[in-house]
Amino acid sequence: MADEQRFDWKSFTPDDSPKTPVDLMNDPVHLDLATPDCEPGDVAPDFELPLFDFSDGTRVETGQTMRLSERAAHRPVALLFGSYT
């Protein structure tokens, strides 16, 4: 492939980045994280998260937590994973 047709990874990799996107995609740790460890219908690992009040448009700590296993005991729970970056 001619140089002018090759994708320029450097154009969106910060100068101080220790890895290029190619390095990252070939990193065994990244590959492990990118490989699902569960199948549809599997029981999700339990976790606990803090609850916040956003009613006035700002994040206010409530001092309460939410545990997945407690919520799922009463009704189905959908977990959505994604990134906004």
pLDDT of residue 65: 97
Name the CA dihedral angle for 58, 61, 67, 70, rounded to a multiple of 10 degrees. -90
> What is the residue extent of each domain of the chain?
40-76
pLDDT of residue 85: 59
Rounded to whole angstroms, the Cα distance separating 35 from 28 reads 11
- Name the pairing type of β-strands 60-67 and 48-53: antiparallel
Going from the first residue of the chain to its last (85 residues), give the mean pLDDT of each consecutive group of 10, the final group possibly shorter.
65 82 84 82 90 95 95 88 68
pLDDT of residue 5: 65
